Structure 1
Amino acid sequence: MGRESLPTLAMVMVQLGFAGMNVVSKLALDTGMSPYVLIAYRNIIAAVFLAPFAYYFERKSGMVITKKVLVQIFFSSIFGATLNQVLYFVGLKYSSPTVASALNNTLPAVTFLLAALLKMEPVEGSAGLAKVAGTAVCVAGSMLMTFYRGPLVRTLASPVHWPYVQGTIAAAHAGGHAVVLGAVLVIGSNVAWAIWFIIQKKLSKSFASPYTSTALMALIASVQCAAIAGAAERRFSAWELGLDIRLVGALYAVTKRSLHHDRP
């Protein structure tokens, strides 16, 4: 039972880590940190962090990086790292951790729809109808959690009171166009992520070295994201990191990304 439950436990831990990343990243963004700078740091640190693991575990794998593999990794970096993260973290800035987490549940639905359109997923028969029904329920539930504004649920008083945390709570209940924009951006991020899953499916057949491909993807994405951040943030002060929530947010995002390197 212990060995068989490890994959399930690992997936649960990844989801818990993802939820924590939403909260910590939102706090970093609410201190004024640019989402573009956060993404750039995330990919730069991830590339440096993953490179030794890729060398240690896969230096004797015998896999050859061909032009086809490089092209696949390049497009993986565009959709799975750069575009996915830019849309997601900007969407998180304009919404809330709860909204972002709820809308992430539309990812399986978006992936299924894209796979069905590309004839990679059958939709005939009872199994196909069940998948379609599950997709509809998934999207409906995510939309309900995102846009429903009910009464505030009171919890136990927290001994920690940070001004930007209070601002986050106020913004989450304010609603308005910002929340809608954030939701649209997060959904766009899921579309990019779904495309990445499809690319990764093909990449896993031609280059079965997940650490190496992920390190290369992070390296290429770090260049792309640094260029975007440099164009969006011309101030050197925007890149400053101290012993504060900004550094924690960047390092936490890297840890979550490293835990989520496996192929679909």
Structure 2
Amino acid sequence: MMKKDSVPPVAMLLVQLGFAGMNVVSKLALDAGMSPYVLIAYRNLIAAAFLAPIAFLLERRSGATITKKVLLQIFISSIFGATLNQVLYFVGLKSTTPTVACALTNTLPALTFVMAAALKMETVRPGTPAGQAKLVGTAVCVGGSMIIPFYKGPVLRLWASPVHWRFAEHPSSSSASAAAAAGHSGAVAGDVLIIASCIAWAVWFILQSKMAEGFSAPYTSTAIMCLMAGAQCAGVSASMDRSLAVWKLGFDIRLYSVLYIGIIGSGVGFALMSWCIQVRGPLYVSMFSPLLLVVVAIIGWAILGEKIRVGSAIGSVLIVAGLYMVLWGKGREMDKQPGLDDKGDEEAALGRGLKGKPAVASNRVDAISLPVFPATSPKQHDTAARNGSN
């Protein structure tokens, strides 16, 4: 049976696998002429519909109550974590190359670390082995992710992949033209937008960690966030293109793409990340993002028949090494964190912020008289408050 300590890293590995597939199907849908704003709107609305029943089944007895403060936090999270992040990325991708965009995305761990450290949500102790591991590991991981796009090197002589997806055999001429045009002045604006999307993504990590201190129902908050983001993206799409034809879906790559990225990319992905943020913190979750480059390289070789070069191999090794150092340092800090009993189980940490505060819903007068789902008994609520878990 899987150890509890291995659940968060396995969950984050699955998230990166899902994101890698999302990049492939999203690119195919955009090449087929689908509007990026419509794609993002469908993504979030489908995610909300997928997560709602799961949240009801798993968190109906959690005792967490939706207050005005929680709703405001979820709304702000939807703006940064879904709408701004996704819109800025797709618009920026039009003006730059996918390789550069993927490389810039891997500034996320450094941005998250700086924000978390500035807000004193992440400890920075360079004099301790754990602190040194986190600092050096972050630098090594980001450095390795930068090697992959900017240093190619000779092609590694590997065996031919037995898998090939014929639908993705020939990229559209429009995407090829966009990639060629990205090398001019518009690339600078595109790069800035990609970095801005990473900043929005890092802010979302911080917000989720803060929200976990007062509302420990990740599936419920994620479902509400996706619903809000879907409405926001639909409004953006309507302002950009008032035609209803852009929303049409057939039994083709457009339908398959929105289903995949809605269920896997946003539904499962956001829920797992929200849970891992509550358990291990925002830096831990963001450190897995550079693995996406490794996964994409493998998928590109297996499905699209792309060649793996020396630069990709070196960068992948550095990414894994840096990630291991950060996880080791984070693990050492959590082992020494006060308030955890000798059992060492993660339920003691679940629902706590990085400062060790229990995640108990507010019972103030300004709370909306609306529990997440049918109200639990006061005894259940008090038990949840004492355990600090959901």
TM-score by structure 2 length? 0.60
Q: 1:226 aligns with which of 234, 237, 249?
A: 234
Q: 2:224 aligns with which of 216, 231, 238?
A: 216
- State the percentage of identical aligned residues: 58
Between Structure 1 and Structure 2, which shows a larger proportion of helix residues? 1
For 1:103, the equivalent position in structure 2 comes to 104
Q: Give 1 or 2 for the bigger CA radius of gyration.
A: 2
Task: Give the partner amino acid of 1:123.
Answer: V
User: Once the 2 structures are TM-superposed, how far is the Cα of residue 138 of structure 1 from its aligned partner?
Assistant: 3.7
For 1:257, the equivalent position in structure 2 comes to 266
* Distance in 2 between residues matched to 1:39 and 1:170, nearest whole Å: 23
User: Once the 2 structures are TM-superposed, how far is the Cα of residue 67 of structure 1 from its aligned partner?
Assistant: 0.9
For 1:197, the equivalent position in structure 2 comes to 205
Task: Give the partner amino acid of 2:183.
Answer: G
| Cα distance change of structure 1 residues 223 and 120 upon mapping to structure 2, 3 Å threshold | same
2:249 aligned with 1:241, yes or no? yes
* Distance in 2 between residues matched to 1:100 and 1:251, nearest whole Å: 24
For 1:123, the equivalent position in structure 2 comes to 124
* Distance in 1 between residues matched to 2:169 and 2:190, nearest whole Å: 22
Higher relative contact order (CA 8 A, sep 6+): 1
* Distance in 2 between residues matched to 1:15 and 1:55, nearest whole Å: 26
Unaligned runs of 5+ in 1: none
Instruction: Name whichever of 110-119 and 5-14 sits farther off.
Output: 5-14
Report the 3-state secondary structure (helix = DSSP H, G, I; strand = E; otherwise coil) of the residue aligned with 1:206.
Answer: coil
Q: 1:145 aligns with which of 140, 144, 148?
A: 148
User: Once the 2 structures are TM-superposed, how far is the Cα of residue 121 of structure 1 from its aligned partner?
Assistant: 2.4
Task: Give the partner amino acid of 2:171.
Answer: V
User: Once the 2 structures are TM-superposed, how far is the Cα of residue 33 of structure 1 from its aligned partner?
Assistant: 1.1
Task: Give the partner amino acid of 1:242.
Answer: G
Report the 3-state secondary structure (helix = DSSP H, G, I; strand = E; otherwise coil) of the residue aligned with 2:120.
Answer: coil
Contact (CA 8 Å) 1:91, 1:186: kept in 2 or not?
yes
Instruction: Name whichever of 172-181 and 217-226 sits farther off.
Output: 172-181
For 2:333, the equivalent position in structure 1 comes to none
Instruction: Name whichever of 72-81 and 101-110 sits farther off.
Output: 101-110
Report the 3-state secondary structure (helix = DSSP H, G, I; strand = E; otherwise coil) of the residue aligned with 2:166.
Answer: coil
Q: Output one character per residue of 1:101-127: Cα deviation in whole Å (capped at 9) or x when no partner.
A: 443332111100111222222334244
Mapping of residues 21-32 of structure 1, within 5 Å = 21-32=22-33
| Cα distance change of structure 1 residues 256 and 79 upon mapping to structure 2, 3 Å threshold | same
Contact (CA 8 Å) 1:30, 1:164: kept in 2 or not?
no
Contact (CA 8 Å) 1:107, 1:194: kept in 2 or not?
yes
User: Once the 2 structures are TM-superposed, how far is the Cα of residue 128 of structure 1 from its aligned partner?
Assistant: 4.0
Task: Give the partner amino acid of 1:18.
Answer: F
Contact (CA 8 Å) 2:85, 2:198: kept in 1 or not?
yes
For 1:135, the equivalent position in structure 2 comes to 138
| Cα distance change of structure 1 residues 206 and 241 upon mapping to structure 2, 3 Å threshold | same
For 2:337, the equivalent position in structure 1 comes to none
User: Once the 2 structures are TM-superposed, how far is the Cα of residue 35 of structure 1 from its aligned partner?
Assistant: 0.8
Q: Output one character per residue of 1:56-78: Cα deviation in whole Å (capped at 9) or x when no partner.
A: 22222221111111111111111
Task: Give the partner amino acid of 2:230.
Answer: S
| Cα distance change of structure 1 residues 35 and 119 upon mapping to structure 2, 3 Å threshold | same
| Cα distance change of structure 1 residues 125 and 7 upon mapping to structure 2, 3 Å threshold | closer
* Distance in 1 between residues matched to 2:257 and 2:153, nearest whole Å: 30
* Distance in 1 between residues matched to 2:267 and 2:95, nearest whole Å: 26
User: Once the 2 structures are TM-superposed, how far is the Cα of residue 48 of structure 1 from its aligned partner?
Assistant: 1.5
Contact (CA 8 Å) 2:48, 2:267: kept in 1 or not?
no
* Distance in 2 between residues matched to 1:245 and 1:259, nearest whole Å: 20
User: Once the 2 structures are TM-superposed, how far is the Cα of residue 90 of structure 1 from its aligned partner?
Assistant: 2.4
Unaligned runs of 5+ in 2: 278-390
For 2:372, the equivalent position in structure 1 comes to none
* Distance in 2 between residues matched to 1:130 and 1:238, nearest whole Å: 49
* Distance in 1 between residues matched to 2:137 and 2:181, nearest whole Å: 31
User: Once the 2 structures are TM-superposed, how far is the Cα of residue 96 of structure 1 from its aligned partner?
Assistant: 5.3
Q: Output one character per residue of 1:80-100: Cα deviation in whole Å (capped at 9) or x when no partner.
A: 111111112223444455544
Give the aligned CA root-mean-square deviation in angstroms. 2.9
* Distance in 1 between residues matched to 2:121 and 2:10, nearest whole Å: 28
Contact (CA 8 Å) 1:50, 1:258: kept in 2 or not?
yes
For 2:171, the equivalent position in structure 1 comes to 165
